[in-house]
Structure 1
Amino acid sequence: MTAVGIQWMRNRLSIVTVAAVLPLSAGCASSVLDPAEVTGPVVVGARDGADGALLAHLYAGVLRTTGIDVQVRDGLGDRAAALRSLDTADVTVVPDYSGLLLQHYDPGVISGDGTSGDAEDVFDALARALPDELTIADYASAQNRAVLAAGTELASQQDVAGLAGRCTDLTFVVTPEFEAVGGLEALTDNGCEPLSVERADPTEAFAAASGETVAGLTTLAPVFAEEGSGSDVVTVPDVPDRAPMEEASADAETPVFVAQNVVPVFRKDVFGEPQLDALRTVAGELTTADLAEMLARIDDGDDIAAVADTWLAEHV
Protein backbone atom coordinates (compact mmCIF):
# COMPACT_ATOMS: atom_id res chain seq x y z
CA MET A 1 0.00 0.00 0.00
CA THR A 2 1.28 3.51 -0.81
CA ALA A 3 1.98 6.19 1.78
CA VAL A 4 -1.27 7.85 0.76
CA GLY A 5 -3.09 4.59 1.36
CA ILE A 6 -1.54 4.19 4.78
CA GLN A 7 -2.55 7.71 5.71
CA TRP A 8 -6.15 7.07 4.74
CA MET A 9 -6.46 3.60 6.26
CA ARG A 10 -8.40 4.01 9.48
CA ASN A 11 -9.21 1.98 12.53
CA ARG A 12 -12.94 2.65 12.40
CA LEU A 13 -14.90 -0.63 12.38
CA SER A 14 -17.90 -0.72 10.11
CA ILE A 15 -21.27 -1.71 11.48
CA VAL A 16 -21.01 -5.16 10.01
CA THR A 17 -17.56 -5.64 11.51
CA VAL A 18 -18.83 -4.77 14.96
CA ALA A 19 -21.67 -7.23 14.50
CA ALA A 20 -19.18 -9.90 13.53
CA VAL A 21 -16.81 -9.30 16.44
CA LEU A 22 -19.31 -9.12 19.28
CA PRO A 23 -20.07 -12.86 19.37
CA LEU A 24 -16.36 -13.64 19.53
CA SER A 25 -15.93 -11.46 22.59
CA ALA A 26 -18.58 -13.57 24.28
CA GLY A 27 -16.56 -16.72 23.52
CA CYS A 28 -18.75 -17.93 20.65
CA ALA A 29 -17.60 -18.98 17.21
CA SER A 30 -18.76 -16.76 14.36
CA SER A 31 -18.89 -18.13 10.83
CA VAL A 32 -19.17 -14.62 9.37
CA LEU A 33 -15.39 -14.28 9.70
CA ASP A 34 -14.78 -17.48 7.75
CA PRO A 35 -14.24 -16.60 4.05
CA ALA A 36 -15.47 -20.09 3.14
CA GLU A 37 -18.92 -19.00 4.32
CA VAL A 38 -19.16 -16.33 1.61
CA THR A 39 -21.27 -17.98 -1.05
CA GLY A 40 -21.34 -16.58 -4.57
CA PRO A 41 -21.82 -14.97 -6.68
CA VAL A 42 -21.57 -11.62 -4.97
CA VAL A 43 -23.15 -9.05 -7.29
CA VAL A 44 -21.88 -5.47 -7.41
CA GLY A 45 -24.52 -3.18 -8.90
CA ALA A 46 -23.75 -0.27 -11.22
CA ARG A 47 -26.16 2.64 -11.48
CA ASP A 48 -26.32 4.62 -14.70
CA GLY A 49 -23.31 6.66 -15.73
CA ALA A 50 -19.66 5.94 -16.46
CA ASP A 51 -18.69 6.70 -12.87
CA GLY A 52 -21.29 4.27 -11.53
CA ALA A 53 -19.95 1.50 -13.75
CA LEU A 54 -16.33 2.34 -12.94
CA LEU A 55 -16.95 2.23 -9.18
CA ALA A 56 -18.74 -1.10 -9.54
CA HIS A 57 -15.79 -2.62 -11.42
CA LEU A 58 -13.30 -1.25 -8.88
CA TYR A 59 -15.13 -2.75 -5.91
CA ALA A 60 -15.81 -6.01 -7.75
CA GLY A 61 -12.14 -6.32 -8.62
CA VAL A 62 -10.92 -5.76 -5.08
CA LEU A 63 -13.43 -8.27 -3.71
CA ARG A 64 -12.21 -10.88 -6.21
CA THR A 65 -8.75 -10.71 -4.63
CA THR A 66 -10.25 -12.53 -1.61
CA GLY A 67 -11.05 -15.57 -3.74
CA ILE A 68 -14.84 -15.21 -3.98
CA ASP A 69 -17.00 -15.21 -7.10
CA VAL A 70 -17.99 -11.62 -7.96
CA GLN A 71 -20.07 -10.31 -10.83
CA VAL A 72 -20.88 -6.77 -11.99
CA ARG A 73 -24.47 -6.03 -12.96
CA ASP A 74 -24.85 -3.00 -15.22
CA GLY A 75 -27.99 -1.30 -16.37
CA LEU A 76 -29.73 -0.99 -13.00
CA GLY A 77 -31.01 2.49 -13.84
CA ASP A 78 -30.71 5.64 -11.78
CA ARG A 79 -29.59 5.84 -8.15
CA ALA A 80 -33.02 5.05 -6.73
CA ALA A 81 -33.42 2.00 -8.98
CA ALA A 82 -29.96 0.69 -8.12
CA LEU A 83 -30.64 1.03 -4.41
CA ARG A 84 -33.99 -0.74 -4.80
CA SER A 85 -32.07 -3.68 -6.27
CA LEU A 86 -29.92 -3.61 -3.14
CA ASP A 87 -32.99 -3.48 -0.89
CA THR A 88 -34.46 -6.55 -2.61
CA ALA A 89 -31.13 -8.44 -2.49
CA ASP A 90 -30.90 -8.63 -6.28
CA VAL A 91 -27.43 -7.14 -5.83
CA THR A 92 -25.05 -7.30 -2.87
CA VAL A 93 -23.12 -4.04 -3.12
CA VAL A 94 -23.77 -0.62 -4.66
CA PRO A 95 -20.92 1.91 -4.50
CA ASP A 96 -21.87 5.58 -4.71
CA TYR A 97 -21.30 9.00 -3.13
CA SER A 98 -21.96 9.58 0.57
CA GLY A 99 -23.92 12.83 0.36
CA LEU A 100 -26.25 11.64 -2.37
CA LEU A 101 -26.78 8.34 -0.57
CA LEU A 102 -27.68 10.25 2.60
CA GLN A 103 -30.10 12.41 0.63
CA HIS A 104 -31.74 9.25 -0.70
CA TYR A 105 -32.15 7.53 2.64
CA ASP A 106 -32.87 10.62 4.77
CA PRO A 107 -33.84 13.64 2.64
CA GLY A 108 -33.18 16.99 4.22
CA VAL A 109 -31.15 15.60 7.12
CA ILE A 110 -28.19 17.92 6.54
CA SER A 111 -30.23 21.10 6.81
CA GLY A 112 -32.83 19.65 9.15
CA ASP A 113 -30.94 18.32 12.19
CA GLY A 114 -27.69 20.23 12.30
CA THR A 115 -25.69 17.62 10.40
CA SER A 116 -22.99 19.48 8.49
CA GLY A 117 -21.58 18.73 5.08
CA ASP A 118 -18.31 17.56 6.62
CA ALA A 119 -17.21 14.13 5.36
CA GLU A 120 -17.26 12.53 8.81
CA ASP A 121 -20.69 13.96 9.69
CA VAL A 122 -22.15 12.80 6.38
CA PHE A 123 -20.68 9.32 6.82
CA ASP A 124 -22.01 9.00 10.37
CA ALA A 125 -25.45 10.28 9.37
CA LEU A 126 -25.56 7.83 6.46
CA ALA A 127 -24.72 4.92 8.77
CA ARG A 128 -27.67 5.90 10.99
CA ALA A 129 -30.04 6.39 8.06
CA LEU A 130 -29.54 3.01 6.38
CA PRO A 131 -32.18 0.27 6.65
CA ASP A 132 -31.37 -2.45 9.17
CA GLU A 133 -30.29 -4.94 6.52
CA LEU A 134 -27.65 -2.62 5.00
CA THR A 135 -24.32 -1.22 6.15
CA ILE A 136 -21.30 0.68 4.83
CA ALA A 137 -17.53 0.40 4.90
CA ASP A 138 -15.03 3.27 5.22
CA TYR A 139 -15.23 6.06 2.68
CA ALA A 140 -12.45 6.97 0.25
CA SER A 141 -10.91 10.40 -0.09
CA ALA A 142 -12.15 10.27 -3.70
CA GLN A 143 -15.29 12.30 -4.12
CA ASN A 144 -17.49 14.19 -6.55
CA ARG A 145 -18.15 17.27 -4.44
CA ALA A 146 -19.46 20.62 -5.63
CA VAL A 147 -16.73 23.19 -6.20
CA LEU A 148 -16.58 26.78 -7.41
CA ALA A 149 -14.04 28.02 -9.94
CA ALA A 150 -13.23 31.66 -10.55
CA GLY A 151 -10.56 33.94 -11.91
CA THR A 152 -7.44 34.09 -9.80
CA GLU A 153 -8.15 37.59 -8.47
CA LEU A 154 -11.58 36.74 -7.08
CA ALA A 155 -10.55 33.27 -5.87
CA SER A 156 -7.56 34.68 -4.00
CA GLN A 157 -9.71 37.22 -2.16
CA GLN A 158 -12.58 34.99 -1.00
CA ASP A 159 -13.37 31.53 0.24
CA VAL A 160 -16.72 29.95 -0.66
CA ALA A 161 -18.44 31.18 2.51
CA GLY A 162 -17.02 34.65 2.04
CA LEU A 163 -18.62 34.97 -1.40
CA ALA A 164 -22.05 35.23 0.23
CA GLY A 165 -21.80 38.97 0.62
CA ARG A 166 -20.82 39.42 -3.03
CA CYS A 167 -23.19 36.96 -4.69
CA THR A 168 -25.67 39.64 -5.74
CA ASP A 169 -22.92 41.02 -8.01
CA LEU A 170 -21.91 37.65 -9.44
CA THR A 171 -23.14 35.47 -12.29
CA PHE A 172 -22.91 31.74 -11.67
CA VAL A 173 -22.52 29.37 -14.63
CA VAL A 174 -23.30 25.92 -13.25
CA THR A 175 -23.26 22.38 -14.59
CA PRO A 176 -26.05 19.81 -14.17
CA GLU A 177 -23.68 17.81 -11.94
CA PHE A 178 -23.19 20.81 -9.64
CA GLU A 179 -26.94 21.10 -9.22
CA ALA A 180 -27.35 17.34 -8.76
CA VAL A 181 -25.00 17.28 -5.75
CA GLY A 182 -26.84 20.20 -4.13
CA GLY A 183 -24.44 23.01 -4.99
CA LEU A 184 -27.06 25.70 -5.50
CA GLU A 185 -28.97 24.70 -2.36
CA ALA A 186 -25.77 24.85 -0.32
CA LEU A 187 -25.05 28.36 -1.58
CA THR A 188 -28.58 29.47 -0.78
CA ASP A 189 -28.33 28.01 2.72
CA ASN A 190 -25.23 30.16 3.21
CA GLY A 191 -26.93 33.36 2.09
CA CYS A 192 -25.60 33.41 -1.45
CA GLU A 193 -28.20 34.72 -3.91
CA PRO A 194 -26.48 35.17 -7.29
CA LEU A 195 -27.21 38.02 -9.64
CA SER A 196 -28.09 35.34 -12.21
CA VAL A 197 -27.64 31.62 -12.81
CA GLU A 198 -26.82 30.12 -16.20
CA ARG A 199 -26.39 26.47 -17.19
CA ALA A 200 -23.58 24.99 -19.27
CA ASP A 201 -21.43 21.90 -19.69
CA PRO A 202 -18.22 21.67 -17.63
CA THR A 203 -15.87 22.98 -20.33
CA GLU A 204 -18.09 25.97 -21.10
CA ALA A 205 -18.69 26.74 -17.42
CA PHE A 206 -14.97 26.59 -16.62
CA ALA A 207 -14.09 28.81 -19.58
CA ALA A 208 -16.70 31.39 -18.53
CA ALA A 209 -15.17 31.86 -15.06
CA SER A 210 -13.48 35.27 -14.99
CA GLY A 211 -14.13 38.65 -13.47
CA GLU A 212 -17.62 38.60 -11.96
CA THR A 213 -18.52 35.17 -13.34
CA VAL A 214 -18.11 32.04 -11.19
CA ALA A 215 -18.34 28.44 -12.44
CA GLY A 216 -20.15 25.78 -10.42
CA LEU A 217 -18.66 22.34 -11.16
CA THR A 218 -17.84 19.14 -9.31
CA THR A 219 -14.43 17.77 -8.45
CA LEU A 220 -14.77 15.10 -11.16
CA ALA A 221 -15.45 17.60 -13.96
CA PRO A 222 -13.29 16.63 -16.96
CA VAL A 223 -11.58 20.02 -16.96
CA PHE A 224 -9.86 19.13 -13.68
CA ALA A 225 -8.25 16.07 -15.28
CA GLU A 226 -6.49 18.24 -17.86
CA GLU A 227 -2.91 19.17 -17.02
CA GLY A 228 -1.01 22.22 -18.16
CA SER A 229 -4.03 24.03 -19.57
CA GLY A 230 -2.48 27.41 -18.73
CA SER A 231 -5.85 28.71 -17.51
CA ASP A 232 -6.01 31.50 -14.93
CA VAL A 233 -9.18 29.91 -13.50
CA VAL A 234 -8.69 28.29 -10.10
CA THR A 235 -10.93 26.75 -7.46
CA VAL A 236 -12.33 28.89 -4.67
CA PRO A 237 -11.28 27.35 -1.33
CA ASP A 238 -13.91 25.79 0.93
CA VAL A 239 -13.42 24.88 4.60
CA PRO A 240 -11.54 21.55 4.63
CA ASP A 241 -13.10 18.43 6.10
CA ARG A 242 -11.96 17.16 9.45
CA ALA A 243 -9.36 14.44 9.35
CA PRO A 244 -10.92 10.97 9.63
CA MET A 245 -11.91 10.19 13.21
CA GLU A 246 -11.04 13.74 14.36
CA GLU A 247 -13.45 15.13 16.94
CA ALA A 248 -15.35 18.26 15.87
CA SER A 249 -15.01 21.30 18.11
CA ALA A 250 -18.13 23.27 18.96
CA ASP A 251 -16.97 26.43 17.16
CA ALA A 252 -15.38 24.74 14.14
CA GLU A 253 -16.43 25.96 10.72
CA THR A 254 -17.81 23.35 8.35
CA PRO A 255 -17.62 23.15 4.56
CA VAL A 256 -20.28 24.90 2.52
CA PHE A 257 -20.59 22.04 0.06
CA VAL A 258 -21.74 18.60 1.17
CA ALA A 259 -19.18 15.80 1.09
CA GLN A 260 -19.64 13.26 -1.72
CA ASN A 261 -17.05 10.61 -0.86
CA VAL A 262 -17.04 7.23 -2.57
CA VAL A 263 -18.49 4.61 -0.21
CA PRO A 264 -19.89 1.09 -0.72
CA VAL A 265 -23.34 0.23 0.62
CA PHE A 266 -23.83 -3.50 1.05
CA ARG A 267 -25.99 -6.13 2.66
CA LYS A 268 -25.13 -7.23 6.18
CA ASP A 269 -23.97 -10.73 7.07
CA VAL A 270 -22.58 -11.41 3.60
CA PHE A 271 -18.87 -10.66 3.93
CA GLY A 272 -16.16 -12.01 6.19
CA GLU A 273 -13.17 -10.09 7.43
CA PRO A 274 -11.11 -10.64 4.24
CA GLN A 275 -13.80 -8.95 2.17
CA LEU A 276 -14.17 -6.10 4.65
CA ASP A 277 -10.41 -5.56 4.53
CA ALA A 278 -10.60 -5.51 0.74
CA LEU A 279 -13.29 -2.81 0.82
CA ARG A 280 -11.10 -0.76 3.15
CA THR A 281 -8.28 -1.04 0.62
CA VAL A 282 -10.29 1.06 -1.83
CA ALA A 283 -10.92 3.56 0.97
CA GLY A 284 -7.21 3.78 1.60
CA GLU A 285 -6.09 4.11 -2.00
CA LEU A 286 -8.70 5.75 -4.24
CA THR A 287 -8.29 9.51 -4.71
CA THR A 288 -10.30 12.13 -6.56
CA ALA A 289 -7.40 12.56 -8.99
CA ASP A 290 -7.48 8.81 -9.68
CA LEU A 291 -11.19 8.91 -10.46
CA ALA A 292 -10.90 12.00 -12.64
CA GLU A 293 -8.04 10.47 -14.63
CA MET A 294 -9.87 7.16 -15.11
CA LEU A 295 -13.09 8.88 -16.18
CA ALA A 296 -11.14 10.99 -18.67
CA ARG A 297 -9.72 7.79 -20.18
CA ILE A 298 -13.21 6.27 -20.39
CA ASP A 299 -14.49 9.45 -22.04
CA ASP A 300 -11.72 9.02 -24.62
CA GLY A 301 -13.02 5.53 -25.42
CA ASP A 302 -11.13 3.18 -23.09
CA ASP A 303 -13.00 0.14 -21.79
CA ILE A 304 -14.37 0.65 -18.27
CA ALA A 305 -13.39 -2.78 -16.98
CA ALA A 306 -9.87 -2.43 -18.41
CA VAL A 307 -9.43 0.99 -16.81
CA ALA A 308 -10.52 -0.43 -13.45
CA ASP A 309 -8.20 -3.42 -13.81
CA THR A 310 -5.23 -1.14 -14.49
CA TRP A 311 -5.89 0.84 -11.31
CA LEU A 312 -6.34 -2.33 -9.28
CA ALA A 313 -3.07 -3.76 -10.56
CA GLU A 314 -1.24 -0.61 -9.41
CA HIS A 315 -2.91 -0.18 -6.02
CA VAL A 316 -4.16 -3.51 -4.69
Structure 2
Amino acid sequence: MFTAKNKGRLAIGAAAVGVALALSGCASGDPLDTGSGSAGDSETISIGSQAYYSNEIIAEIYAQALENAGFTVDRQFNIGQRDAYLPSLENGDIDLFPEYSGNLLQFYDAETTATTAADVSAALADALPAGLTVLDEATATDQDSYNVTAKFAADNNLKSLADLANVTTPLTLGGNAELEERPYGPAGLLATYGATVGFSATGDTTVEDLIAGTINIANVYSGDPRIQTEDLVTL
Protein backbone atom coordinates (compact mmCIF):
# COMPACT_ATOMS: atom_id res chain seq x y z
CA MET A 1 0.00 0.00 0.00
CA PHE A 2 1.14 3.50 -0.72
CA THR A 3 1.83 5.73 2.27
CA ALA A 4 -0.90 8.05 1.07
CA LYS A 5 -3.51 5.37 1.64
CA ASN A 6 -2.66 5.28 5.34
CA LYS A 7 -2.37 8.92 6.22
CA GLY A 8 -4.40 10.68 8.87
CA ARG A 9 -5.35 14.28 9.37
CA LEU A 10 -3.17 16.12 11.85
CA ALA A 11 -1.93 19.57 12.68
CA ILE A 12 1.62 20.79 13.05
CA GLY A 13 2.64 23.90 14.88
CA ALA A 14 5.65 25.75 16.20
CA ALA A 15 6.76 23.98 19.38
CA ALA A 16 7.50 27.27 21.12
CA VAL A 17 3.86 28.33 20.91
CA GLY A 18 2.20 26.93 24.01
CA VAL A 19 -1.33 27.00 22.62
CA ALA A 20 -0.45 24.75 19.68
CA LEU A 21 0.83 22.18 22.13
CA ALA A 22 -2.09 22.71 24.47
CA LEU A 23 -4.52 21.95 21.66
CA SER A 24 -2.98 18.51 21.27
CA GLY A 25 -4.80 17.43 24.41
CA CYS A 26 -8.09 18.05 22.62
CA ALA A 27 -6.99 16.55 19.32
CA SER A 28 -6.62 13.09 20.81
CA GLY A 29 -10.34 13.10 21.60
CA ASP A 30 -12.93 15.72 20.65
CA PRO A 31 -11.06 18.58 18.91
CA LEU A 32 -13.93 20.92 19.74
CA ASP A 33 -13.87 20.20 23.48
CA THR A 34 -12.44 23.43 24.86
CA GLY A 35 -12.72 22.46 28.52
CA SER A 36 -13.49 24.90 31.29
CA GLY A 37 -10.44 27.15 30.93
CA SER A 38 -10.23 30.49 29.15
CA ALA A 39 -7.19 31.83 27.35
CA GLY A 40 -8.11 35.48 27.43
CA ASP A 41 -8.11 37.92 24.57
CA SER A 42 -4.36 38.60 24.65
CA GLU A 43 -3.43 35.35 22.88
CA THR A 44 -3.48 35.43 19.07
CA ILE A 45 -2.95 32.22 17.12
CA SER A 46 -2.21 32.29 13.41
CA ILE A 47 -3.73 29.35 11.51
CA GLY A 48 -2.96 28.59 7.87
CA SER A 49 -4.44 26.28 5.25
CA GLN A 50 -3.58 24.90 1.84
CA ALA A 51 -5.25 26.19 -1.30
CA TYR A 52 -7.81 23.40 -1.14
CA TYR A 53 -11.33 23.47 0.24
CA SER A 54 -11.15 20.46 2.57
CA ASN A 55 -7.92 21.68 4.17
CA GLU A 56 -9.49 25.10 4.67
CA ILE A 57 -12.52 23.48 6.34
CA ILE A 58 -10.28 21.66 8.82
CA ALA A 59 -8.36 24.87 9.50
CA GLU A 60 -11.66 26.65 10.19
CA ILE A 61 -12.66 23.92 12.66
CA TYR A 62 -9.44 24.49 14.59
CA ALA A 63 -9.95 28.25 14.37
CA GLN A 64 -13.46 28.10 15.80
CA ALA A 65 -12.39 25.69 18.55
CA LEU A 66 -9.65 28.10 19.60
CA GLU A 67 -12.01 31.08 19.47
CA ASN A 68 -14.48 29.20 21.65
CA ALA A 69 -11.63 28.70 24.12
CA GLY A 70 -11.03 32.45 24.26
CA PHE A 71 -8.17 32.88 21.81
CA THR A 72 -7.99 35.43 19.02
CA VAL A 73 -7.37 33.71 15.69
CA ASP A 74 -5.59 35.15 12.67
CA ARG A 75 -6.76 33.16 9.63
CA GLN A 76 -4.21 32.85 6.82
CA PHE A 77 -6.06 30.45 4.57
CA ASN A 78 -5.63 29.38 0.95
CA ILE A 79 -1.85 29.87 0.99
CA GLY A 80 -0.77 27.24 -1.50
CA GLN A 81 1.27 24.06 -1.25
CA ARG A 82 4.08 23.02 1.10
CA ASP A 83 6.89 24.92 -0.56
CA ALA A 84 4.85 28.08 0.02
CA TYR A 85 3.60 27.64 3.58
CA LEU A 86 6.17 25.49 5.40
CA PRO A 87 8.76 28.30 5.49
CA SER A 88 6.14 30.54 7.12
CA LEU A 89 5.43 27.83 9.67
CA GLU A 90 9.11 27.27 10.38
CA ASN A 91 9.85 30.97 10.91
CA GLY A 92 6.84 31.49 13.17
CA ASP A 93 4.61 33.57 10.89
CA ILE A 94 2.04 30.75 11.15
CA ASP A 95 1.47 28.87 14.40
CA LEU A 96 -0.83 26.01 13.43
CA PHE A 97 -1.55 24.15 10.21
CA PRO A 98 -3.74 21.12 9.39
CA GLU A 99 -1.72 18.57 7.46
CA TYR A 100 -1.69 15.10 5.89
CA SER A 101 0.78 12.88 7.71
CA GLY A 102 1.72 10.61 4.79
CA ASN A 103 2.42 13.34 2.27
CA LEU A 104 4.16 15.52 4.85
CA LEU A 105 6.48 12.65 5.76
CA GLN A 106 7.31 12.11 2.10
CA PHE A 107 8.05 15.83 1.77
CA TYR A 108 10.71 15.63 4.49
CA ASP A 109 11.85 12.04 3.84
CA ALA A 110 11.41 10.95 0.24
CA GLU A 111 12.95 7.53 0.99
CA THR A 112 10.59 6.60 3.83
CA THR A 113 9.28 3.05 3.90
CA ALA A 114 6.61 3.71 6.54
CA THR A 115 3.14 2.53 5.48
CA THR A 116 0.96 2.04 8.56
CA ALA A 117 -0.56 5.02 10.33
CA ALA A 118 1.47 4.31 13.48
CA ASP A 119 4.75 4.01 11.58
CA VAL A 120 4.04 7.17 9.60
CA SER A 121 3.34 9.13 12.78
CA ALA A 122 6.53 7.92 14.45
CA ALA A 123 8.67 8.59 11.38
CA LEU A 124 7.15 12.03 10.89
CA ALA A 125 7.97 13.08 14.44
CA ASP A 126 11.62 12.22 13.74
CA ALA A 127 11.68 13.81 10.29
CA LEU A 128 10.33 17.25 11.20
CA PRO A 129 12.87 20.08 11.42
CA ALA A 130 13.70 21.58 14.79
CA GLY A 131 11.01 23.95 16.04
CA LEU A 132 8.04 22.03 14.63
CA THR A 133 5.96 19.47 16.45
CA VAL A 134 3.06 17.18 15.56
CA LEU A 135 -0.20 17.19 17.47
CA ASP A 136 -2.21 14.00 17.94
CA GLU A 137 -3.94 12.75 14.82
CA ALA A 138 -7.61 13.51 14.43
CA THR A 139 -9.91 10.55 13.83
CA ALA A 140 -11.22 12.00 10.55
CA THR A 141 -9.24 11.38 7.37
CA ASP A 142 -9.22 12.82 3.87
CA GLN A 143 -6.84 10.75 1.80
CA ASP A 144 -5.87 10.33 -1.82
CA SER A 145 -7.97 7.82 -3.72
CA TYR A 146 -7.93 6.75 -7.36
CA ASN A 147 -11.34 6.78 -9.02
CA VAL A 148 -12.85 5.88 -12.38
CA THR A 149 -16.34 6.28 -13.76
CA ALA A 150 -18.76 3.41 -13.20
CA LYS A 151 -18.90 2.80 -16.96
CA PHE A 152 -15.11 2.65 -17.31
CA ALA A 153 -14.93 0.25 -14.37
CA ALA A 154 -17.59 -2.01 -15.89
CA ASP A 155 -16.11 -1.90 -19.40
CA ASN A 156 -12.63 -2.84 -18.14
CA ASN A 157 -13.55 -5.09 -15.20
CA LEU A 158 -11.84 -2.79 -12.71
CA LYS A 159 -12.15 -3.50 -9.01
CA SER A 160 -8.70 -2.60 -7.70
CA LEU A 161 -5.55 -0.75 -8.72
CA ALA A 162 -3.96 -4.07 -9.65
CA ASP A 163 -6.55 -4.46 -12.43
CA LEU A 164 -5.18 -1.39 -14.23
CA ALA A 165 -2.32 -3.47 -15.64
CA ASN A 166 -4.85 -5.43 -17.72
CA VAL A 167 -6.48 -2.39 -19.35
CA THR A 168 -5.65 -2.08 -23.06
CA THR A 169 -7.01 1.46 -23.40
CA PRO A 170 -4.32 4.15 -22.84
CA LEU A 171 -4.59 5.35 -19.25
CA THR A 172 -4.30 8.96 -18.13
CA LEU A 173 -4.27 9.94 -14.47
CA GLY A 174 -5.50 13.39 -13.51
CA GLY A 175 -4.78 15.33 -10.34
CA ASN A 176 -2.86 18.22 -8.83
CA ALA A 177 0.41 19.02 -10.60
CA GLU A 178 2.58 17.71 -7.76
CA LEU A 179 0.98 14.24 -8.05
CA GLU A 180 3.13 13.53 -11.12
CA GLU A 181 6.24 13.33 -8.91
CA ARG A 182 4.66 11.74 -5.83
CA PRO A 183 5.78 8.17 -4.98
CA TYR A 184 2.20 6.95 -5.41
CA GLY A 185 1.76 8.77 -8.75
CA PRO A 186 2.43 7.28 -12.21
CA ALA A 187 5.84 5.88 -11.21
CA GLY A 188 4.35 4.15 -8.18
CA LEU A 189 1.50 2.65 -10.20
CA LEU A 190 4.04 1.21 -12.64
CA ALA A 191 6.43 -0.10 -9.99
CA THR A 192 3.76 -1.57 -7.73
CA TYR A 193 1.06 -2.73 -10.14
CA GLY A 194 2.75 -2.81 -13.54
CA ALA A 195 0.29 -0.22 -14.87
CA THR A 196 1.59 2.29 -17.41
CA VAL A 197 -0.24 5.55 -16.79
CA GLY A 198 0.12 8.97 -18.38
CA PHE A 199 -0.51 12.14 -16.42
CA SER A 200 -2.50 15.34 -16.83
CA ALA A 201 -2.35 18.21 -14.32
CA THR A 202 -6.08 18.79 -13.99
CA GLY A 203 -6.13 20.57 -10.62
CA ASP A 204 -9.55 21.84 -9.58
CA THR A 205 -11.27 20.33 -12.64
CA THR A 206 -10.15 16.73 -12.02
CA VAL A 207 -13.63 15.27 -11.47
CA GLU A 208 -15.09 17.26 -14.35
CA ASP A 209 -12.31 16.02 -16.65
CA LEU A 210 -12.93 12.43 -15.56
CA ILE A 211 -16.63 12.69 -16.36
CA ALA A 212 -15.88 14.40 -19.68
CA GLY A 213 -13.48 11.60 -20.62
CA THR A 214 -10.32 13.68 -21.06
CA ILE A 215 -8.76 11.51 -18.33
CA ASN A 216 -9.85 8.05 -17.21
CA ILE A 217 -8.38 7.89 -13.68
CA ALA A 218 -8.82 10.70 -11.16
CA ASN A 219 -7.02 11.34 -7.90
CA VAL A 220 -9.89 12.51 -5.69
CA TYR A 221 -9.64 13.10 -1.96
CA SER A 222 -11.80 10.57 -0.15
CA GLY A 223 -13.82 13.29 1.60
CA ASP A 224 -15.07 14.69 -1.71
CA PRO A 225 -18.86 14.12 -1.91
CA ARG A 226 -18.69 13.86 -5.70
CA ILE A 227 -17.38 10.33 -5.35
CA GLN A 228 -20.92 9.47 -4.30
CA THR A 229 -22.93 11.99 -6.29
CA GLU A 230 -21.15 11.17 -9.57
CA ASP A 231 -21.22 7.41 -8.89
CA LEU A 232 -17.44 7.09 -9.14
CA VAL A 233 -15.69 3.80 -8.42
CA THR A 234 -12.75 3.95 -6.02
CA LEU A 235 -10.03 1.44 -6.85
* Contact kept? 1:149, 1:214, Cα under 8 Å: yes
| 2:86 matches 1:88 | no
Partner of 1:68: 71
Cα distance change, pair 223–177 in 1 and its aligned pair in 2 (3 A): farther
Structure 2 residue aligned with 1:234: 233
Cα 1:122–1:36 shift into 2, 3 Å: same
Give the superposition deviation at 1:146. Answer: 3.0
Q: Looking at both structures, which has the greater relative contact order when contacts are Cα pairs under 8 Å and sequence separation is at least 6?
A: 1
Partner of 2:125: 127
Whether the 8 Å CA contact 1:174–1:197 is kept in 2: the answer is: yes
Q: Which runs of 5+ in 2 are unaligned?
A: 1-7, 9-14, 16-20, 26-36
Residue-pair matches, total: 195
1:190 alignment counterpart: 192
Determine if contact 2:145/2:222 at 8 Å carries over to the other structure.
Answer: no
Aligned residue among 216, 223, 226 for 1:224: 226
Structure 2 partner of 1:25: none
Q: Give the partner amino acid of 2:129.
A: P
- Within 5 A, what are the aligned runs for 1:107-186? 107-109=110-112, 114-116=113-115, 118-136=116-134, 137-150=136-149, 151-153=152-154, 158-160=159-161, 162-163=162-163, 165-166=165-166, 169-177=168-176, 180=179, 182-186=184-188
Say if 2:153 and 2:159, in contact at 8 Å, map to a contact too. Answer: no
Shift of 1:97: 1.9
Alpha-carbon displacement from aligned partner over 1:105-153 (angstroms, at most 9, x marks no partner): 22232xxxx322x433333322221123222221343213132325343
Mapped to 2, the partners of 1:38 and 1:105 lie a distance apart of 35
Normalised by the size of structure 2, how large is the TM-score? 0.65
Distance 1:49 1:148 in 2: 19
3-state SS, counterpart of residue 203 of structure 1: helix
Number of the residue aligned with 2:210? 205
Which residue in the other structure is 1:256 paired with? none
Note closer, same or farther for the CA distance 1:178–1:75 as it changes in structure 2 (3 Å cut).
closer
Say if 1:183 and 1:217 are closer, same or farther in 2 by CA, change over 3 A.
same
Contact kept in structure 2, 1:46 and 1:53, CA below 8 Å: yes
The 2-side partners of 1:156 and 1:141 are apart by 31
**Aligned-residue offset at 1:37:** 9.2
Q: Distance in 1 between matches of 2:155 and 2:67?
A: 48
State the Cα deviation string for residues 229-284 of structure 1 (Å, max 9, x = none).
4x5x5222xxxxxxxxxxxxxxxxxxxxxxxxxxxxxxxxxxxxxxxxxxxxxxxx
Superposition RMSD in Å: 3.7
Deviations 1:194-238 (A, max 9, x none): 2x52535322224539xxx841322258672563x4x5x5222xx
Identity of aligned residues (%): 21
* SS of structure 2 residue aligned to 1:216: strand
Q: Once the two structures are superposed, what CA deviation does each residue of 1:271-312 show, in whole Å capped at 9, x if it has no partner?
A: xxxxxxxxxxxxxxxxxxxxxxxxxxxxxxxxxxxxxxxxxx
For residue 62 of structure 1, report the CA deviation from its aligned partner.
Answer: 1.6
Q: Tell which structure's C-alpha radius of gyration is larger.
A: 1
- Report the Cα offset of residue 192 of structure 1: 2.4
Residue segments in structure 1 that go unaligned for 5+ positions in a row: 1-7, 9-14, 21-33, 237-316
Structure having the larger proportion of residues in strand: 2
* Contact residue 114 and residue 123 of structure 2 kept, 8 A: yes
